[in-house]
Every structure is written in structure tokens, then in C-alpha cells.
Amino acid sequence: MEQVNIMPNAYVPTAGDFEFLSRQDINVDRNFASQGYWKGVAIHFFRNRRAVVGLVIVVLITVLAILGPILSAYGYKEIISVTNDAGKQITAGSISPQLPGLFGSENINPLFADKTFLFGTDTVGRDLWTRTWFGARVSLIIAFVTIIIDMIIGMSYGLISGYYGGMTDNTMQRFVEIANSVPRLVIVSVLAIFLPKGMGLVIVALLLTEWIGMSKIARAEMLKLKEQEYVLASRTLGAGNFRIIFGQILPNTIGPIITQVMFSIPTAIFTEAFLSFVGVGIVLPQCSIGSLIEDGFNNITTLPYQILPPIIVLALLMLGFNFIGDGLREALAPKLEDM
């Protein structure tokens, strides 16, 4: 019997239709099922180019802040001087930055020809390389110490306020509202009445202001988490309030809080720089980023190079911490499109 072609123009598939057009079109499903929470966060964080750049910058500056003053031949408050032929002490004041064989070595006083000052020296003859990294160290220590203490205070405050709710929460939040309505500047100025100028003033000022942001975040997280089943389970098994707050819920709020820490550290560095610049912060011969900027500013018309190292370090630190904070925030709450 003759076969009747009922569809004369029908498409006849060939073998080629069943092959992949090109291998790139294949979407491979990555399997995230078996990895832990923190591993996932780390993967997201390190895949973010900006966050990695931030991390590298911060680590580099921290290492230099630790090693810079140690490796340097001079102390941070040492006034460098040599004795000339006439037996007179000559201080190495106001030397321009120099790198042997590259720049700055031409018009140097022959007495200091055997010494190298990468960032130059300040007006009284202290090595700016040492001072810059020592200043960075002071600023970083102030920022880290205060922010960690603020984290502990703010976190406990927010968690307790959110957990108990009701009257406790109301009273505690009214207090936060009032504390939050006092400008930082006013706190600093009142502190300046009571405390001597110096590092202590900066630290107390930061301690009094930075915890508020942390407490707000901790409270919001607590409100989200306290109705969860594992809390109920824990309570049913007989866990006390203290244990539930700090043992069970706290570990689950740590992500957003660490992100807040990363954003608070640049604020702390900024505030320290600002206070030292105004003259109520670090006092000579100690130095910090802020006091170095002030020094540089005072001599800007005659020695404009002096202001550059502290400003660059400050800007890089701000940049680094902000990038890390952004990266962490995205890594902790990845959107679907980023997967």
C-alpha cells in the first residue's frame, strides 16, 4: 500500500537537532546543599571583587601599622640628629620624601646622605614613615577597642530590650531615643569639660555614641527570632532567659552585627581624626592619623608633601572597611539573582 504523505511540508528532524548547539549554553546547577552557613557566606564574600579588594587594603595597612614602626630604624618620637664637623647637633627637620636612586636624593643635606626617609621628616626632625604607621596603629587600636566594647554593650542592650518586650522594652527604647537625640558634638564638648584632652576623651566619646546603632540592630534581630520554634523548644527544655538570649539567639544575630561593626570602625577612625584635628584628641609627641593631618595642614604652604601619607592612609582605611561592610552585607543576605 502506498504511503500517503498527509503533511507534505512537514519538517523532518535530523540527527543534528538532538545535539547541543554549543557547550556554553548548558546551565550547570551548582549544588549548595551540603555546605554550612558560614562557608556559604565566605564563598559569596570572596566572589565579590570589591570586598576582596577592601580586605586586602585593610590587611595590608594593619600589617604595616604593626610592622612599620618595628622595622624602622627610628622611634616615632625620636628627633633625628647628627653631629657635624664643628661638633654641633643638626636635626633632620623638614626633609622631603626620598627613595634612593629614584627621587628626592638630589637636594639633601650631605650630612643625612646615608639615611633614607621614605615619607620625609616633619619640622622638628621626626621620621614621617615611622610616625605615619605608628599613627595608623593608634587610630586602628582606638577604633577596634571601642567598637568591640560598643558591640558588647549595644548587643546586650538590644537583645535584652527586644527579648523581654512590654514595659522593659518601652523604657529602654525611650532611653535610646533620648540618647540618640544628643548630637555627638555635644557629647564631646561636655566630655571636654570633665576629661583631660587625649586618647581617653576620644575613647569615651566613641563608647558613648556608637552602641546605639548596634542596639537597634540587635533588637530588630531579636524581634524577628524570638518567636521561632527553636526558642520555644529551648524554653520547654528548661533553659533560662539568660541562656536563651545569649546562648541560643545571639549566635543567630551575629551576622548583621558584624556588618554593623565593619561600618562603625570607619566612623570611629573618622571621629578620632576629627577630634585630634580640632585639638582635643591625641597630644604630642603621640600621634594618630588625625594629629598627623593637623601637623601637615599647619605646614601645608611650605611642606605640602607632609599631609599626603596620613590622608592616603585614612582614605584607604575608610574605603577598605566600607567595601568589607558592603561585601559582608551582601554575603549574609544573598539575593537570588546573585546566586
Partner 1 sequence: MTKYIFKRVILAVITLLIIVFVLFVLVRVMPGNPFPSERMSAEQIANKRIELGLDKPVLVQFWDYLTKLLHGDFGKGTSLYNGAPIKTVLSTCVSNSFRIGGLAILIGTAVGLLLGITAALNRGRFLDGFCTVFSIIGVCVPSYVFLIFLQYYFSYRIPFFPYFFDPGRFLFSAVLPSVSLSLFSMSTVARFTRNEMVEVMDSDYVRLAESKGIYGPRLVRRHVLRNALIPIVTVIAPLIVDLLTGALVVEKIYGINGIGKLMVDAISGEGVDYNYVLALGILYSSLYIGIMLVVDVLYGILDPRIRVSAKGDA
Residue 168 found at the interface with partner 1 (CB under 8 A): no
Residue 55 found at the interface with partner 1 (CB under 8 A): no
Residue 133 found at the interface with partner 1 (CB under 8 A): no
Q: How many CB atoms lie within 10 A of CB 2?
A: 4
Residue 200 found at the interface with partner 1 (CB under 8 A): no
Residue 177 found at the interface with partner 1 (CB under 8 A): yes
Cis peptide preceding 69, ω within 30 of 0: no
Judged by CB under 8 A, the residue of 250, 307, 313, 324 near partner 1 is: 307
Query: Which CB atom, from 164 or from 263, has the smaller least distance to partner 1?
Result: 263
Amino acid at position 243, single letter: R
Judged by CB under 8 A, the residue of 244, 250, 314, 331 near partner 1 is: 314
Residue 280 found at the interface with partner 1 (CB under 8 A): yes
Q: Is the Cβ–Cβ distance between 282 and 200 less than 8 Å?
A: no
Closest contact distance (angstroms) between CB of 54 and partner 1 is: 11
Cell 548596634 locates to 214
Residue 301 found at the interface with partner 1 (CB under 8 A): yes
Query: Which CB atom, from 39 or from 49, has the smaller least distance to partner 1?
Result: 49
Residue 278 found at the interface with partner 1 (CB under 8 A): yes
Cell 584607604 locates to 316
Amino acid at position 33, single letter: A
Residue 297 found at the interface with partner 1 (CB under 8 A): yes
Closest contact distance (angstroms) between CB of 183 and partner 1 is: 5
Q: Is the Cβ–Cβ distance between 241 and 259 less than 8 Å?
A: no
Beta bridge pairs of residue 103: 99
Cα-based distances in Å from 321 to 26, 140, 264, 312, 330: 38, 11, 9, 14, 14
Q: Which SS3 state, helix, strand or coil, does residue 121 take?
A: strand
Judged by CB under 8 A, the residue of 67, 233, 300, 333 near partner 1 is: 300
Q: Which SS3 state, helix, strand or coil, does residue 99 take?
A: strand
Chain residues binding partner 1 by CB under 8 A are 177-178, 181-186, 188-190, 192-194, 197, 270, 273-274, 277-280, 293, 297, 300-301, 304, 307, 311, 314-315, 318-319, 322
